[in-house]
Amino acid sequence: MTCDYDKLYGETRNALGQPSPVFVDFFDQFDQPKARILDVGCGQGRDALFIARLGHSVVGVDISSNGIHDLNAAAMKDDLAIEGVIAEVSDYKPEGTFDVVLADRTLHMLPKLARLSVLQRLLDHVNENGWVLIADEKSNIKDFVAIISKNRFDWTTHLAKQGYLFVQRA
């Protein structure tokens, strides 16, 4: 059964709770100031908001108009550098490059070919020494590793366990 996230976000503030601890830990160690971050499937901004509060610029993409509305309202209220974009992740074409591309439990919602195509497209929008941070179903990580290994850039894996994959572009 699929969740209607737009309805959930329309009815519930902070529906998905606090930022994911694995991403909080990453950004606690991340030493690049004012980085440009892409949060794919950002929802109401549980990760995007905390990242922007650290001084980074965030582009958050989600299909939910309610989620993006909440994200943009929170960003405006706190004067955060966030751009919320309503778009289907499968069709979204990022503008420019990013220091970090984050996909927190988003890609598994797409059919297999679409999720791999999205990841392949996103890899080309990561800066040199930039990162891709993925939290997803454990069963999808092997396919993500395969897509990354075929990319035109070289990547170093820093974390690949328990449904997480963190890679850095060489």
pLDDT for residue 3: 82
Per the domain annotation, does 49 fall within a domain? yes
Per the domain annotation, does 7 fall within a domain? no
Per the domain annotation, does 58 fall within a domain? yes
pLDDT for residue 1: 41
Give the CATH number for residue 152.
3.40.50.150
What angle, rounded to 10 degrees, do the helices at 46-53 and 21-29 form?
20
Per the domain annotation, does 23 fall within a domain? no
Per the domain annotation, does 146 fall within a domain? yes
Its pTM stands at: 0.95
Is the pLDDT reported for residue 76 higher than 80? yes
Residue 46 structural domain: 35-169
Per the domain annotation, does 24 fall within a domain? no
Strands (E), 87-154: 98-104, 126-135
pLDDT for residue 125: 98
As for how many domains the chain has, the answer is 1
Q: Is the dihedral of CA 140, 143, 145, 151 positive or negative?
A: negative
Tens digits of residue pLDDT in 83-134: 999 999 999 999 999 999 999 999 999 999 999 999 999 999 999 999 999 9
Measured CA to CA in angstroms, residue 130 lies from 11, 36, 169 at distances of 36, 10, 5
If we measure between CA atoms, which residue out of 59, 47, 24 comes closest to residue 105?
A: 47
- For residues 127 and 97, what is the distance between their CA atoms, to the nearest angstrom? 6
Per the domain annotation, does 66 fall within a domain? yes
Per the domain annotation, does 12 fall within a domain? no
- For residues 1 and 32, what is the distance between their CA atoms, to the nearest angstrom? 40
